[in-house]
Amino acid sequence: MAAAELNPKQFSKILVGVDDSPDAQMAFRFAMNRAKQDNAELDLVSVLEEDEINIYQALNKDYVSSKREDMEKHLKEYAKVAQEFGIKKVKTYIAEGDAGETIVKSVIPEVEPDLLVIGSSSRTGVARYFGSQASYMAKYSPVSVMVIR
């Protein structure tokens, strides 16, 4: 084998799904390390999932706006940590809908990453059950997927 064949793939744009779950935190740390190692852009996404909001909350514009503002604040905190870690280019995205489907069908085509990093399980947010969200993204993502646990 030639030396070039043994070199690991370098990524230029890494998308990571973040929420406050332990697995998502590990995915974020992994994505930060990989982005720094590859000198890649780090894109952070959180998904406001409709099934976490009941019908009365959904009809309350102030409630939905408040949830979105909280999410934006959290994303800014994640972005600050990544920048302090030494990642030069960090972008944030908020999406709405079913996390797995929204990330695969909307976020990835918009962001155009070459790696998606997600946690395997959490009670809420991006990767609620490995059996559904993470496995859906791993199966249908048009880009490489790293599932962290």
pLDDT tens digits, one per residue of 52-104: 555 555 566 666 677 789 999 999 999 999 999 999 999 999 998 888 999 99
The verdict on residue 1 lying in a domain is: no
Cα gap 120→131, rounded to integer Å: 9
The verdict on residue 3 lying in a domain is: no
Structural domain containing residue 105: 11-148
Q: What is the CA radius of gyration of the chain?
A: 16
Whether 132 shows a pLDDT value over 90: the answer reads: no
**Across 6-15, 69-78, 121-130, least confident range:** 121-130
Banded model confidence at residue 120, pLDDT cuts 50, 70, 90: confident
Provide the pLDDT for residue 58.
Answer: 55
The verdict on residue 6 lying in a domain is: no
The verdict on residue 104 lying in a domain is: yes
The verdict on residue 109 lying in a domain is: yes
The verdict on residue 5 lying in a domain is: no
Q: Nearest CA to 115 among 4, 21, 37? A: 37
Q: Copy the structure tokens of residue 2.
A: 């030639």
Whether 49 shows a pLDDT value over 60: the answer reads: yes
How many domains does the chain divide into?
A: 1
Long-range contacts from 90-93, C-beta under 8 angstroms, 24+ separation: 90/41, 90/42, 90/43, 90/44, 91/41, 91/42, 91/43, 91/44, 92/43, 92/44, 92/45, 93/43, 93/44, 93/45, 93/46
pLDDT tens digits, one per residue of 24-39: 999 999 999 999 999 9
The verdict on residue 90 lying in a domain is: yes
* pTM recorded for the entire structure: 0.83
The verdict on residue 4 lying in a domain is: no
| CATH classification of the domain holding 101 | 3.40.50.620
Question: Alpha-carbon torsion 130, 131, 132, 134, what sign?
Answer: positive
Whole-angstrom CA distances from 7 to 2, 3, 23, 32, 128 are 9, 7, 28, 20, 34
